[in-house]
Chains A and B, each alone.
Chain A
C-alpha cells in the first residue's frame, strides 16, 4: 500500500535540526502535547524517540534466540516425533504423530496423524530428503532443524544455552518495563484503547494504518499482541519447558498440576512454539507494510518518524 519512501520523506533535514529539542521526547511522555488544542501546526518535526537502547537490545537478542530455539526444538522433537496429553506417552494414543511408513512399492511416505486422522505429509513431516535427495524417516525436515542431521545431544546444547539467554533477556525486559513504567505507558491496553478495538481490527483488515500523531503510540492490537507475547506466551513457553524437567517437577510439583502432566506440558510447549511463529509472521508483515525502513530504523537507532497523514483514514470520533 504505502510506498516506503513516503514515510521517509518527513525525515528531518537541516531545518529540523533547530526544531528538534535537545532532549528527545521519550515516547508517551507527550500525551498531553498541545497539538490537540493548537491549530494545526506546520509539519513540525515528525521524529520520535521510540525505542530506548535497552528495548532495542532485548528485541534483537530475541531475534537471535527465537530461530535457534525453534530449530533446535524441532531437532529435539524429532527424537520422538509425537505428542500426547497427560503424564505419560501411550504410543497408541498420540495427539499428533509424524511417521515414516514404507509402502508396498518400498517407498517411504511421511504420514502425520492428528487426533487419529492420517495425512500424507511426505517431504515435509514424517519423511523428507537428506542432502543427497534420498528420502528417509524424520519428523521435521533437515532444513528446519538445528543441527540439520539427527543429533539430539547437540540440539539440546543449542536449546538450553539459548533458553538461558532468552529467559534472562525476558526477565531483564520485564524488570525494565516495570521499573521504567514502559509496561503501563506503552504496552498495556487502556480502557479507551479497548473501546476502539472493533475499529482497529477493521483498519488492520483493510490495511489502513494510523498516521501522524496517532502513530506515535501503539494501537490497541499492537498493545495486545506485544503484551500477550511478552507476558503470556513467553512465560508459558518457559514454564512448559521447565515442566519437562524431572528435577524441577520434584522441586515444584505445582507445575505438573498446572499443565496437566509432563506430556501435556510438552504438547503446550509445541503449540506455544507455533504461536511464536504465527506472531512473528504477522509482526514482520506489519513491519513491512507500515514502512519497513522507518520501522527497522526505529528498532536500530531508536528514532521513528511519524508517517504522513496524507492517506489517513476517516476519524469518526
Chain B
C-alpha cells in the first residue's frame, strides 16, 4: 500500500480484472452443471419456505377479483390434451365414467364421481393464476374445497403430504403429479375445481378436475386429477422430489 503501483503491476491488475470477469461468467455456467452447487443454491428454497410461512398467517387469503377483472381468454399451458386412450375414452363419455380415487394413508379410502363431487359443498373464487414463466391470468373457479374431501377420508396422523396424480404422461411415460402439505391442503381457497368461468373445465385447462392452490405458482396446480394419495413422504414417487417439475429442478415450495 505504501509503494506506488508500478505500470507493470497496474497492467497486470487490469488483465486480472478482465480475466476474472470472463472466468466469473464461465465459472457460473459450469457451476450450474454441478449437482453439489445446485444443492448449495437450493438451500435458499428452505429459507424462503420457512420465512414465508413464518410471516404469512395460516389463513391469509389470496386476493379475489371481480368478473370485470377476468382474463379475456384463460391461457392453456403445459399439456393441452392428455391424448391417451384411457383419457379419450373418458372424454367420449363426458367423464360419466370418471372417478376420483382417494387413498394412501387414510382411514376411509373413497371414490367420487363428478356428479358426487358437484353435490358436495362448493366454493367459487375469482383468483389470479401466476405461472412460473412470469405471466398471470384471472379466472373464476368453482370446486369442492379439498378440506371437505380430507375430512371424509380422515388422514392418518403421520400423513404429511397430499399427492395428486394426473392423467397426462410426458413422452417418457412419466405421468404428471404434484404434492402439497397440510398447510395448503386445508387452506379455504384450496379447491378441486370442476368449473372455469361458469363452464365445465375445458380439456386444455385440466378437465374434469384440477387443483387450485392460490398461494403458489401454477405448476403446483395439477390438471386432469385422477387420484389423490396421502403419504408420509414422497421418496418413492417418481424421482422423489414431490412433483413432475420438482423432479426437473423446480422448487417444491413455489410460493415465489
A→B interface (CB under 8 Å): 5, 8, 11-13, 67-68, 71, 76-77, 79-80, 82, 84, 87-91, 143, 146-148, 151-154, 156-158, 160-161, 163-164, 242, 244-251, 253, 256, 262-263, 266, 293, 297, 301, 303
Q: Which of B41, B65, B135, B248 is close to A161, meaning CB atoms less than 8 Å apart?
A: B41
Within 8 A of A (CB), among B118-151: 128, 130-138
Supposing A245-B52, A250-B56, A293-B10 touch, asked if A160 and B256 sit within 8 A by C-beta, the answer is yes
Supposing A242-B256, A248-B52 touch, asked if A157 and B44 sit within 8 A by C-beta, the answer is yes
A selection of 15 A-B contacts at a CB cut-off of 8 Å is A5-B4, A8-B4, A77-B134, A80-B133, A89-B135, A89-B137, A146-B32, A148-B29, A154-B249, A156-B132, A156-B251, A157-B44, A157-B249, A246-B214, A246-B255
Q: B165 at interface (Cβ–Cβ under 8 A)?
A: no
Are B63 and A250 closer than 8 Å at their CB atoms? yes
Q: B5 at interface (Cβ–Cβ under 8 A)?
A: yes
Supposing A88-B69, A247-B52 touch, asked if A256 and B63 sit within 8 A by C-beta, the answer is yes
In the assembled complex, which residues on chain B have CB atoms less than 8 Å from the CB atom of A8?
4-5
Q: Tell me what chain A mostly uses at the interface: helix, strand, loop, or mixed.
A: helix
Are A87 and B32 closer than 8 Å at their CB atoms? no
Q: B108 at interface (Cβ–Cβ under 8 A)?
A: no
Are B57 and A251 closer than 8 Å at their CB atoms? yes
Mark interface residues in B1-23 (1 if CB within 8 Å of A CB, else 0): 11011000010000000000000
B→A interface (CB under 8 Å): 1-2, 4-5, 10, 24-25, 28-29, 32, 38, 40-45, 47-48, 52, 55-57, 60-63, 65, 69, 71-72, 75, 128, 130-138, 214-217, 245, 248-251, 255-256
> Which of B32, B55, B217 has the most chain A CB atoms closer than 10 A to its own CB?
B32
- Chain A residue with minimal CB distance to B14? A292
Are A297 and B1 closer than 8 Å at their CB atoms? yes
Q: Which 9 A-B pairs have the closest CB atoms?
A: A247-B255, A153-B249, A245-B256, A89-B135, A251-B56, A80-B134, A79-B133, A161-B44, A80-B133
**Given contact pairs A11-B4, A244-B130, A246-B255, a sample of 7 additional A-B residue pairs in the complex whose CB atoms are under 8 Å apart:** A79-B134, A246-B215, A246-B216, A247-B215, A250-B215, A251-B57, A266-B134
CA distance in complex: A301, B1 (Å)? 8
- Chain A residue with minimal CB distance to B6? A5
> Taking the nearest CB of chain A, how far is it from the CB of B204, in angstroms?
15
> Taking the nearest CB of chain B, how far is it from the CB of A283, in angstroms?
16
- Chain B residue with minimal CB distance to A164? B44
Are A248 and B5 closer than 8 Å at their CB atoms? no
Are B249 and A90 closer than 8 Å at their CB atoms? no
Are A147 and B32 closer than 8 Å at their CB atoms? yes
In the assembled complex, which residues on chain A have CB atoms less than 8 Å from the CB atom of B217?
246
Are A246 and B57 closer than 8 Å at their CB atoms? no
